[in-house]
Amino acid sequence: MKYIIYILLSFNLMTFTISAEETRQVDKHEHGVGELNIAVEGSTIEFEFMIPGADIVGFEYVAKSDEDIAKINQALKTFDDYTNIFTLPSNSLCELNGQKVALKEEDEHDDHDEHDEHDDHDEHDEHDDHDEHAEENHNEFYAKYSFECGNINAIKEVNFPYFATFTNSGELEVQFISNMGSTSFEVEGDEPLINTDGKI
């Protein structure tokens, strides 16, 4: 498993060098675009998703209202069942042996709340424009799933009900690596699968 993580890290560095512009777009949480790393080692296959909150719950700001928090919790519950996100061929005999689902939040402007007490000072009216910084706050859904497979070579394709589950989603940028080499895919809802035949 450590080897898989090492491979992913190395591959991500190569990907950054080769396609830095695309990587920057994903880092900026481009709406409708999620990122997925798939690594295969021996009989183990691992999936690691990093998806902007807008693709999942329709917003990227840090959830504070009861309604937004409920949407986040429901989405996390949906990720708990990986079959809502992707499916593997049944004859691959893959069994889930580990997973992690989390929401990563970045709220860099919470410290501006202290300015609320200065509302009676004209000079602090300029702080009203901090509202525009809300767009810089991000929530990102992170999900990682690891499988041990009895017949891993039977994985000829991976299907993604993800697009039907989360209708705000538009694309997954997939980096796939195994001992056969590495490749990348761009997956969209009108053809929600990748062909892995000959790549494992």
pTM above 0.85, yes or no: no
Is residue 17 domain-resident? yes
Is residue 166 domain-resident? yes
d(CA 100, CA 138): 20
- Judge residue 169's burial from the number of C-beta atoms within 10 Å of its C-beta, 0-12 exposed, 13-18 middle, 19 or more buried: buried
Amino acid identity of residue 27, one-letter, is D
Is residue 67 domain-resident? yes
Q: Are 99 and 177 in contact (CB under 8 A)?
A: no
Give me the mean pLDDT over the 69-97 stretch: 98
**pLDDT for res 107:** 54
Is residue 121 domain-resident? no
The total domain count for the chain is 1
Give me the mean pLDDT over the 120-141 stretch: 54
Q: Domain containing 50: what range?
A: 2-106+140-195
